[in-house]
């Protein structure tokens, strides 16, 4: 069975911790990068890399990592999401490799030994926590020397562009000038949207070495056109190849639906 540690927390509706990103989002490119980080951890001597998924939701990331031989701790306050995680883990036969902590991210230090994690995931987290600096400080404290921190977050500029393209110019204008990049009509759990510069500054300010910030979902989630005649057979491959290039090409990177940052704890 999945090991469970709990603290009494407010019950949230399923999905309430998610805004424009979700624990399930993230392209194959993001997964490939994280798999490479696990390979690097094994090369450093970690036979069973330790992964901490902060705000890990229903285990879309945690379960595959456990199946790949990692020891995974998921810190998540949403009890409905955790119920789904337990079912997934049991169905995939990895329940014994996942520890579930029903708690908020601000209690990370209570559940994860300092300097123990080879990889920490903070996907769809920084835009919803009350204090992103404090959340990152706790994440850094949990990360082993040389370990990696993966951040996937909603992109402020994408939110502006998407509203403008759908004719909501007033909303687009307010988002562009609002310091936090949030509107009153947004989900009450959304505290901020980040851009490339803001995300980089947060990570660097926490003492991490930022390896890169890439886009994730540059056009794949806003495409409305059908494949051009004669291109249907190669459509998926063409899209993947375009996304891979656009993700690292400015200014296309900076208008992606999500931003993916990879940073390391100095050795």
Spatial distance between the Cα atoms of 175 and 163, rounded to a whole number of angstroms: 9
Summarised one tens digit per residue, pLDDT across range 135-177 is 999 999 999 999 999 999 999 999 999 999 999 999 999 999 9
pLDDT in tens, 48-102: 999 999 999 999 999 999 999 999 999 999 999 999 999 999 999 999 999 999 9
Rounded to the nearest angstrom, the gap between the alpha carbon of residue 139 and the centroid of all alpha carbons in its chain is 13
Residue 60 is predicted with a pLDDT of 92
Tell me the Ramachandran region of residue 15: left when phi exceeds 0, alpha when psi lies from -120 to 50, beta otherwise.
left
Cβ atoms of 109 and 173 within 8 Å: the answer is no
Three-point CA angle 33, 22, 226, nearest 5°: 85
- 171-219 pLDDT tens trace: 999 999 999 999 988 888 899 999 999 999 999 999 999 999 999 999 9
Q: Which residues pair with 101 in a beta bridge?
A: 5, 75
Burial class (CB in 10 A: 0-12, 13-18, 19+), 225: exposed
How many Cβ atoms sit within 10 Å of the Cβ of residue 178? Answer: 15
CATH no., domain 3-264: 3.40.50.150
Per the document, the length of the chain is: 267
Give the residue extent of every domain in the chain.
3-264
């Amino acid at each position: 069975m999945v090991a469970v540690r709990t603290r009494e927390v407010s019950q949230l509706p399923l999905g309430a911790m998610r805004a424009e990103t979700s624990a399930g989002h993230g392209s194959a490119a993001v997964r490939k990068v994280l798999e490479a980080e696990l390979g690097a951890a094994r090369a450093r001597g970690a036979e069973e890399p330790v992964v901490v998924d902060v705000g890990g939701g229903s285990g879309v990331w945690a379960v595959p990592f456990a199946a790949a031989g990692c020891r995974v701790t998921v810190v998540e306050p949403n009890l409905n999401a955790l119920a789904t995680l337990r079912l997934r883990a049991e169905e995939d036969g990895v329940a014994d490799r996942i520890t579930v902590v029903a708690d908020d991210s601000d209690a990370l230090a209570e559940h994860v030994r300092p300097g123990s994690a080879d990889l920490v995931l903070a996907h769809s987290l920084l835009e919803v926590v009350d204090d992103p600096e404090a959340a990152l400080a706790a994440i850094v404290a949990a990360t082993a020397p040389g370990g990696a921190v993966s951040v996937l977050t909603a992109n402020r500029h994408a939110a502006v562009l998407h509203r403008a393209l759908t004719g909501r110019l007033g909303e687009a204008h307010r988002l562009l000038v609002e310091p936090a990049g949030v509107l009153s009509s947004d989900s009450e759990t959304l505290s901020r949207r980040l851009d490339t510069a803001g995300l980089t500054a947060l990570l660097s300010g926490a003492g991490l070495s930022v390896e890169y910030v890439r886009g994730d979902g540059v056009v794949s989630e806003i495409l409305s056109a059908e494949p051009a005649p004669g291109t249907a057979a190669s459509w998926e491959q063409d899209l993947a190849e375009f996304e891979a290039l656009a993700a690292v090409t400015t200014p296309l990177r900076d208008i992606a639906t999500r931003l993916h940052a990879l940073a390391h704890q100095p050795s």
